[in-house]
């Protein structure tokens, strides 16, 4: 208990950084994921090929490698990015690949009759997608998107390898200063679990509300 009290200020600060990394990266990744999804389902072979290549690259390589390339590799090309923006950039690019597939799956789950009905009403492709298809696809993809957000919050722990003082880095620091590594990392694990428990509850509430809108 004394370790909890003594490390609380540092843990709260690290928690704030963890939440910042997760929320900002998810929001940016979602917006980029929408664009990748549109490219993926487009009729342009160039856009479709670029989207497929992007998803394959970022889903097929470890996130840790991507983080280290952004932080340690880009400076060799003359691009220097501070630790926190580097982590956000890497997490954004990584999460966008998965979120685009979640959204694409939601769109493909919509019956083709919805497209035909929208077309018969004189809607353009873009308007059909925006007003008819996308809202339904988002509801279908909500569980997968929520799970990706929860996974991303845990993935933020990898930012510790590029000196970002988030929750895992704080636990490492507390453990090294007190020689109580087990307690420090268990405490950090409990905090991660609490974050994701709250997100899981929020996801369940959102799913129920979105479900009622279509009943």
Q: What pLDDT score was predicted for residue 36?
A: 95
204 with 150: CB under 8 angstroms?
Answer: no
Q: What pLDDT score was predicted for residue 24?
A: 97
Question: Who has greater pLDDT, 131 or 60?
Answer: 60
3 state DSSP class of 180: coil
pTM, whole model, 2 decimals?
0.89
Give the count of beta carbons closer than 10 Å to the beta carbon of residue 5.
8
Question: Who has greater pLDDT, 115 or 35?
Answer: 35
Residue 8 pLDDT > 70, yes or no? yes
129 closest CA partner among 207, 41, 214: 41
What integer is the mean pLDDT of 18-25?
Answer: 95
Give the count of beta carbons closer than 10 Å to the beta carbon of residue 69.
14
What is the share, in percent, of the chain residues with pLDDT greater than 70?
A: 93
CATH number, domain of 39, equals 1.10.3720.10
d(C-alpha 48, C-alpha 153), whole Å: 29
Residue 136 pLDDT > 70, yes or no? yes
pLDDT band at residue 17, thresholds of 50, 70 and 90? very high
The number of distinct structural domains making up the chain is 1
Q: What pLDDT score was predicted for residue 91?
A: 97
Q: What pLDDT score was predicted for residue 42?
A: 86
Q: Show the beta-strand stretches assigned E in 1-135.
A: none
Q: Which structural domain range is residue 82 located in?
A: 2-212
Among the residue ranges 117-126, 130-139, 193-202, the one predicted with the least confidence is 117-126
The model's pLDDT over 170-213, given as tens digits with 9 standing for 90+, comes to 888 887 777 777 888 888 899 899 999 999 998 888 888 876 65
pLDDT band at residue 92, thresholds of 50, 70 and 90? very high
What is the share, in percent, of the chain residues with pLDDT greater than 90?
A: 51
3 state DSSP class of 44: coil
Q: What pLDDT score was predicted for residue 96?
A: 97
d(C-alpha 29, C-alpha 18), whole Å: 16
21 closest CA partner among 173, 162, 176, 193: 162
């Amino acid at each position: 208990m004394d370790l909890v009290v003594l490390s609380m200020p540092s843990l709260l600060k690290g928690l704030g950084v963890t939440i910042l990394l997760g929320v900002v990266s998810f929001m940016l990744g979602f917006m980029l994921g929408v664009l990748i999804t549109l490219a993926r389902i487009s009729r342009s072979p160039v856009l479709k090929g670029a989207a497929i290549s992007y998803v394959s690259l970022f889903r097929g390589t470890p996130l840790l490698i991507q983080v280290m390339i952004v932080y340690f590799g880009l400076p060799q090309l003359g691009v220097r990015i501070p630790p926190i923006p580097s982590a956000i950039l890497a997490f954004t690019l990584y999460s966008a690949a998965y979120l685009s597939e979640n959204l694409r799956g939601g769109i493909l789950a919509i019956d083709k009759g919805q497209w035909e009905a929208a077309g018969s009403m004189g809607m353009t492709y873009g308007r059909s997608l925006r007003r008819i298809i996308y809202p339904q696809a988002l509801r279908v993809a909500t569980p997968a998107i929520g799970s990706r957000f929860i996974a991303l919050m845990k993935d933020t722990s990898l930012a510790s390898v590029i000196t970002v003082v988030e929750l895992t880095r704080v636990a490492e620091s507390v453990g090294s200063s007190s020689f109580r590594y087990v307690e420090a990392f268990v405490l950090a694990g409990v905090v991660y679990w609490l974050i994701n428990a709250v997100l899981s509850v929020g996801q369940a509430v959102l799913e129920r509300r979105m479900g009622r809108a279509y009943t």
